[in-house]
Structure 1
Amino acid sequence: MIRNPILPGFNPDPSIVRVGDDYYIATSTFEWFPGVQIHHSTDLANWTLVARPLARADLLDMRGDPDSCGVWAPCLTYANGLFHLVYTDVKRYGRTTTGGASGASLRDFHNYLVTAPSIDGPWSDRVYLNSSGFDPSLFTDDDGRQYVANMLWDHRPGRNRFAGIVLQEYDAAARALVGERHLIFKGTELGLTEAPHIYRRDGWYYLLTAEGGTGWNHAVTMARSRTLTGPYELHPDRYILTARNRPDAPLQRAGHADLVEAPDGTPWLAYLCGRPLPNRGRCVMGRETAIQPMRWGDDGWLYTLAGDAMPVLEVEHDAAPPEPRQERTRFDTPELPIDFQWLRTPEPDRIFSLTARSGHLRLYGRETIGSVFEQALVARRQQAFCYTAQARIEVVPAHFQQMAGLVCYYNSTKFHYLYVSHDDAIGRHLAVMSALPDSPQADAFTVPIAIPDGAIELGVEVDFERLRFRYRCEGDADWTWLPQLFDASILSDEASAPGMANFTGAFVGVAAQDMAGTAMPADIAWFDYREREYSA
């Protein structure tokens, strides 16, 4: 069986391509560096994270990008012996740095293209395409000519800001868009038209888009035309996949899709989805990637196998069972293990090292947790409703402006942080700082707990919306639980002030801060992440 989602945890906006017997899916990474996750599979059921291509400063520098900006909606295609990766770097979401509503219609999107002969690279220097909107995709026609489609952003008052899909030819020799820009599709009354992908089949050009926003009204729309620039006629059902108005659907928020054809001719649709918490209705794992087979009808239109446009939880398919996930990560290689990322900066040597102390991840305390420029936070995705994570940390904070610890993190306004610090009153101590998006008290601190010097193990257990921290000092046989029960559901898109960008998902990892600017080190010996069944 294929069990959806195939890419659990924060893996939104899938773009899928087949090259021979190999399938690749590229997904958005937003403010997390390196940019764009690429998974590989040969059976559509088992997927392995193999690359993050935007790993150089000349390809991506997100310092200063607001939360949930950065890399949006990559498009991965293959033509002329090259992988082509198109992506957006979002620099402004229409909010001031303090979260006010000033200039809410003003946004900055910059679209780029890079190529590589192999999924492992080397990736070319980036080509600037345009800044007219986001979600760019590259289409190569049967005659070899290439075109870039993207949604068009209209900031003017009284206008539809999602103004439709525009198309322009790309000249690879000139490394630039050329000719006239065509508005080929204005969308349906559902609105928020984005995420275009174009395909050619049996003399038709098919246009796939996402509509309804990326929340509960999300949907996949299809249209077609005999000519590339239109006019495009809508699918008779309008939406070929959606869970909107269907609370019984096992996967919600279904939309933003891409199409691939298997060697036997079966069309498969990769799309994003969300799994709400049973008790709170919030999607702590963000938008995940699912896949299911489709069928071409006698009328030349695409349909789900059941004809109901519903996302499915399981698909019968010949595939091997998945490999068990690694539980303990030891930092004994010169490269950060691929499950982990950091935030925004293309200069990782300033925030961590894997060689400064053998067998350890050394964090260098930098700016405050939540900084949009340079913070030392290294984390991995939450990929199950119930998990245990823990880490062994050695840190010697000298004063209250230095701290390091274990963090459950969504963005700068949503996290729970168990940290070690020091002050004159209590000495070395442990406390939790929470950033609460739906509480009158934005920052909450627990009462500090005095702890002795030496290495310390910090742990967290998450069961759906319940989160508890624990610790074990050097020499202790047993763990000590903190008495507080924390709300894990705040680590979700849905827990937010209205109008703010919330497009990622929950992470768990380690962090260090030195607000005195002296780069206090904190050494991590290992990090555990173990998924499990619910524990009462």
Structure 2
Amino acid sequence: MIGFGMRTVAALLALAAVTVDALFNPILPGFNPDPAFLRVGSDYFIATSTFEVFPGHPIYHSTNLVDWELVGHALNRPAQLSLLGTPGNGGLWAPGLRYHDGIFYLISTSRHVYTSELSLFPRSFYVTTDDIFSNNWSDPIYFDSLGYDPDLFWDDNGDVYSTWCGINDPIDKIYGIYQNTIDIATGDSLTPAQLIFSGTLPNNSSARPEGPKLYNFNGTYYLLIAEGGTGATHRATIQRGPSPSGPWENNPKNPLVYNGEDPSLAVQSTGHADILQAEDGSFWGTLLGTRPQGGNTNHAQLGRETFLYPVTWEDGWPIFNGGRPITEHLVDVLEDRPPVTDFELDFGDVEGEDLEGAWYFVRTPYKKFYSLTERKGYLRVKGNAYAIGDRDSAALVLRKQTAYNQTFETTLEFSPLSNTTEAGITIWRQDSMHDEIGISGDADGSGKRYIVTRKLEKNDQVGPWALTPANNTKATVDRVELETDDEPVKLRIVGSSTSYTFGYAEGEGEWVDVLSIDSALLSLFSDFKGTLFGMYNTGRGFPTLAPADFRYWKQYS
């Protein structure tokens, strides 16, 4: 149980022991949706969604709410998370992050299919650890319920409540917030599931009440949810009541946040919120939002990012950000301190045999396909038969794009054996949204090398882009013969607010740009993620014996 009082935003910022006097939103730029927010002592934590990339659910840490660092991933072992064959936008959905009696709980759902034969929601689960900095979490413990966006709540009498989004009309796709009590040791249900809330919007398929978070503030229970889908009508609303199950009284000032009321705002799609109380008694919240570029909602390739805002109270109701829309600049702060978005790593400086930190793979790898020791000073990517865009696990190493104006660059040494052997770099968002520049060879194995660019576009003859298996797309492929057969080749992708430009430089030669694309090809809203840069090696349907050696990874603005 947590107390609260009435304070102005200015007073919060002036008095808070957590000094937030220099903040630029988003605090977690790039692909970081559905933030779950937690404080334990003087430590703050955020977990976000990862969908079909592995490892799952990054855990970020801060002591001042401004500077955040990645401390690990809750699902980092194949035994915890099998994503083999998982469709785009399946995998791990919105997490919950809670702490009770010395144990951290990461609560999640993994969606493996989207077919008429297997249309039920999956069973959600939770993993635990007593040391969140150890990067060592338990195997999953499963709930009995079917649904998504699960959360856990411990009542003062010891009851543990599981609350989730479920479906109560599968024909018309009417969703609601469900709840029961569970045995926290096993996940077993102790009481029947009950529908506790249907949201504040008209009860139809577009309402989508989801993302429930349950709190006890000063003896009153609050149910915070997301509504209106994940697009322009996304919002956060709250109810209060006398028990964890209601009945609920509607906040007369709902929605708490809804930037979609003004499409001209720089931040859009605001919702899926979580709140907490700092050590000094002030309240803060996180939520997701997007930053469309160039006045066009089709240019939001970074996807859904994590934003921070102060929470105040009036008449027992929370007020987000002083009742103002969420912005890139937090109100009433002294100056801006943008988050660090540049990243540079010389692979010769890496100690040990594994990439550690914010590195990702598409789905769970069958086996390790890279090495930092086979050729010291390089990241060696050993190709497999899968290509980028196959609904499987290609030999592809990824990091999130963290700024719209950001360049990704490396030097590649690669001797292709055929025209199916290819290695290079990519900008990737899902199976049906990615573009590459790489090096490939001749069909006759002559030793000649070519710069290859692949521009993926919608195949209008196959079906709706929004549903997107990779065969809903077609690739435009161009080849430029290189002058030498053995010189290192520099590759780069230059990102701007509305485009990407692909280029190469042979040896110490000048940069040559060979492809430019509209970023709208990578930012259709049906995708839940954001763009990631990547290094790959593929045999395009065949095993490949040609390793790809990358000298460094550089992302800079």
Q: Where does residue 114 of structure 2 map in the other structure?
A: 93
**Structure 2 CA distance for partners of 1:129 and 1:319, relative to 1, 3 Å:** farther
Gaps of 5+ in 1: 95-102, 495-500, 532-536
Relative distance call for 1:59 and 1:198 in structure 2 (3 A) is same
Residue 312 (structure 2) pairs with residue 295 (structure 1): yes
> CA 1:311/1:107 → structure 2, altered by over 3 Å: closer, same or farther?
farther
Contact 2:365 2:393 in 1 (8 A): no
State the distance in 1 between where 2:79 and 2:365 align: 9
SS for the counterpart of 2:449 is strand
Unaligned segments of structure 2, at least 5 residues: 1-21, 462-471
Residues 36 and 453 (structure 1), Cα distance of their counterparts in 2 relative to 1, 3 Å cut? same
Answer with 264-273 or 8-17: which moved more: 264-273
More strand as a share of residues: 1
CA contact (8 A) 2:454 2:478 kept: no
Cα offset, 1:66, TM superposition: 0.3
Are residues 325 and 279 of structure 1, via their aligned partners in 2, closer, same or farther at CA, if it must alter by over 3 Å?
Answer: closer
Classify 1:66/1:356 alpha carbon distance in 2 versus 1 (closer, same or farther; 3 Å): same
1:413 counterpart (427, 432, 438): 432
Aligned equivalent of 1:384, options 389, 392, 403: 403
Structure 1 counterpart of 2:144, from 130, 136, 152: 130
Q: 1:62 to 1:319 in 2, by over 3 A?
A: farther
Give the residue type in structure 2 aligned to 1:275: R
Aligned to 1:534: none
Following superposition, the deviation at residue 19 of structure 1 comes to: 0.6
Partner of 1:449: 480
The 1:131–1:66 alpha-carbon spacing in structure 2 relative to 1, beyond 3 Å, is farther
The residue that corresponds to 2:6 in the other structure is none
| Matching of residue 114 in structure 1 with residue 127 in structure 2 | yes
The aligned counterpart of 1:144 is: 158
User: Residue by residue, what CA displacement relative to the aligned partner does 1:373-414 show, whole Å, maximum 9, x if unpaired?
Assistant: 221111111111111111111222111221110101111111
C-alpha displacement of 1:245 = 2.1
Find the aligned partners of 2:327 and 2:157 in 1 and give their Cα distance. Answer: 35
Q: State whether structure 2 residue 499 is matched by structure 1 residue 480.
A: no
Report matched runs for 1:61-460 at 5 Å: 61-94=82-115, 103=116, 106-121=119-134, 122-154=136-168, 156-157=170-171, 159-162=172-175, 164-189=176-201, 191-281=207-297, 282-297=299-314, 299-308=315-324, 310=326, 313-316=329-332, 321=337, 324=340, 326-331=342-347, 332-333=350-351, 334-349=353-368, 351-366=369-384, 367-424=386-443, 427-437=448-458, 442-451=473-482, 452-454=484-486, 455-460=488-493
Cα deviation 1:65-120 (Å, max 9, x = unaligned): 100110101111111101111011011234xxxxxxxx399254231111101112
Q: Give, in whole Å, the separation in 2 of the partners of 1:252 and 1:60.
A: 32
* Aligned residue number for residue 530 of structure 2: 505
Q: Which amino acid aligns with 1:129?
A: F
Deviations 1:215-254 (A, max 9, x none): 1000001011102222212111221111122123331110
Task: Give deviations 1:170-224, integer Å, cap 9, x for gaps.
Answer: 2123442322212111112251110000000122110010000111000001011
User: Which amino acid in 2 is paired with 1:283?
Assistant: A
Identity %: 33
Q: Distance in 1 between matches of 2:73 and 2:24?
A: 24
Secondary structure in 1 matching 2:255: strand
Match of 1:49 among 58, 70, 77: 70
Check conservation: 2:108, 2:126, Cα contact below 8 A: yes
Deviations along 1:490-532, one digit per CA (max 9) or x if unpaired, are 21143xxxxxx5100111111111121235421111111102x
Give the conservation status (yes or no) of the 8 Å contact 1:34–1:346: no
| Aligned partner of 1:25 among 42, 46, 50 | 46
Please state how far the C-alpha of 1:359 moved relative to its aligned partner: 2.2
The Cα shift of 1:338 comes to 1.5
Equivalent residue number for residue 3 of structure 1:
24
RMSD between aligned residues: 2.2
Q: 1:506, 1:225 → 2: CA distance? A: 41
Query: Structure 1 residues 377, 244: closer, same or farther in 2, change over 3 A?
Result: same
Tell me the number of residue pairs that the alignment of Structure 1 and Structure 2 aligns: 511
Q: 2:24–2:339: 8 Å Cα contact kept in structure 1?
A: no
Correspondence 1:526 to 2:533 = no
CA distance in 1, matches of 2:127, 2:282: 29
CA–CA distance in structure 1, aligned partners of residues 168 and 551 of structure 2: 50
State the one-letter code of the partner of 2:279.
Answer: P
SS of the counterpart of 2:247? coil
State how far apart, in whole Å, the 2-side matches of 1:382 and 1:324 are.
Answer: 12
Counterpart CA distance in 2 for 1:265 and 1:185 is 29
Using the size of structure 1 for normalisation, the TM-score is 0.90
Which among 60, 69, 73 is matched to residue 81 of structure 2? 60
1:463 is displaced (CA, Å) by 1.5
Alpha-carbon contact 1:91-1:107 (below 8 Å) kept? no
Residues 64 and 373, structure 1, Cα contact 8 Å, conserved in 2: yes
Aligned counterparts of 2:390 and 2:476: Cα–Cα separation in 1: 19
Q: 1:182 and 1:318 mapped to 2: Cα distance?
A: 47
